[in-house]
Structure formats: C-alpha cells, structure tokens
Amino acid sequence: MFDVVAFDADDTLWFSEDSFRKYETQFVEIVAPYVPVGVDIKAALIATERKNIDAYGYGVKSFGLSSMEAAITLSNGEIPAVELQKILHGVREHLTEPVRVFDGVAEVLAQVSSQFRTILITKGDLAHQTRKVETSGLSHHFEHVEIVLEKDPTTYAHVLKSLDINPERFCMVGNSMKSDILPVLAIGGFGVYVPYEILWELDHAEHPTANTDRYVELETLSLVPEWLAQQSK
C-alpha cells in the first residue's frame, strides 16, 4: 500500500506550540504596563506575525523579531530597552530549550520504520529544526530529513520527486490539517491526521471535503502502526 511514511515533527513527535504560548504570555506581561488598558496585545502580536510571515518565514527567530516590533509599536516607542532585552532572552532560551518528545513516539517510529521507508518533513527555521532533530534521540529512525520553507502542494511534489517517491504510495502523518494533510491529499497522497490540543492561528484550516477516502483521523500517534498495517492487508 505505502512505500514511504512521512512524519511531521512539531506537535506530532514533540511539544512545540505550548512553548510559543508560554513566550506569548510572557510577551503580554512584559508589554502590558506600557500599553493603554483595553488594547488586545496578543491579537496585535499575531497581526504583526501575519504581516511578516512572507519576509521572515516560520520559527522562533521570526516570532522574536515580530515580538520586538509589536512591543515597540504597541507602546508607541515608550517601552524601555531592558524590557525588550527580556524578549531577546526568551528567544535564546526558546531556541535552546531541550526537546520534549511525546510519550510513546520512539516505539511508534521503531515499528513504522521497520516496515516502511520513513522520513521526516518539517517546516520552519533551519537552525532550530536541525537542532531539535539532532537532539531528539529520534533521528536514527529516519532515512531522510527534509526541512522546508512552506508545506504546500508544490513543495511536497518537489520533495517526493527528488526522493523518487510515488505520491499514490506516500502517507503523511501530522497534526496540521493545513500543512500535513490537505496539500498531500491534493497531490494524490494519503494523510493521517493526529490532532494536538493547541494549534497556531496561522496554521488553521478546515477538514477536507474532497479525497476523504485517502484521509483518516486518529486520536493518538500510537494508533498509526496498526492503521498502516490494516491498509496493507
């Protein structure tokens, strides 16, 4: 049934979004004293991220630069540099924090990689994503690791072509409908959606309405090996 199974990384194999929420909350606490009451600080930060995404791309460094910008704009230039320094410290801390792998992931990857060519496809910052893969203790399960700028149909098609993978025999497992499922269905592949409780607003998308025969939603990653085995029967 499948030649290759690919996994997303952030919030599929390990925690990611919860750290962004933590630093978002810190940001609100740092900036609030310099902003008029009633201003939605979090919404302003997300709007700044959205404006910058084309120029900056995804990841912690982009989040950090947008945070600094939003802090200065929201405070009308009144925020002291020492407060901005706290945001910078947060960026460095965020980039170097240890990877927290989800329970049971190593077992799932061991099972899947014993039966299928297994790869990792993640989007984001090259330095940070590489560090996470290398320090996760999971990299030996993957025949190939691809860090991409954007997870759209064009990018998936390009990656599959370069690795000589037939989309019809390709299955992508991930927590983002927008990044892991819809673009893979669009190029003829299969998508296993394993939702995670928190999702970045810029990564939101509706469930698929087409190609639903090539799509399944599973409650946890531990159900993936059994589902894959059933498809091969």
Q: Which residues bind a copy of itself (CB under 8 A)?
A: 52, 55-58, 61-62, 64-65, 68-69, 71-72, 75, 77-82, 84-85, 88, 91-92, 95-96, 124-128, 130, 144, 147-149, 162
Strands (E), the chain: 4-7, 117-123, 144-148, 170-174, 190-193, 215-217
The answer to whether the CB of 72 falls within 8 A of the CB of 30 is no
Least CB distance from residue 65 to a copy of itself, whole Å? 6
* Smallest distance from a copy of itself to CB 106, Å: 23
Q: In the complex with a copy of itself, which residue's Cβ is closer, 57 or 195?
A: 57
Shortest reach from residue 143's CB to a copy of itself, in Å: 10
CB of 145 to a copy of itself, least distance (A): 10
Nearer CB in complex with a copy of itself: 92/207: 92
40 is written with which tokens? 């939605």
Closer Cβ to a copy of itself, 12 or 75, answer by number: 75
- Between 97 and 201, whose beta carbon lies closer to a copy of itself? 97
Nearer to a copy of itself, 128 or 190 (CB): 128
Rounded to an integer, what distance in angstroms lies between the CA atom of residue 71 and that of residue 78?
A: 9
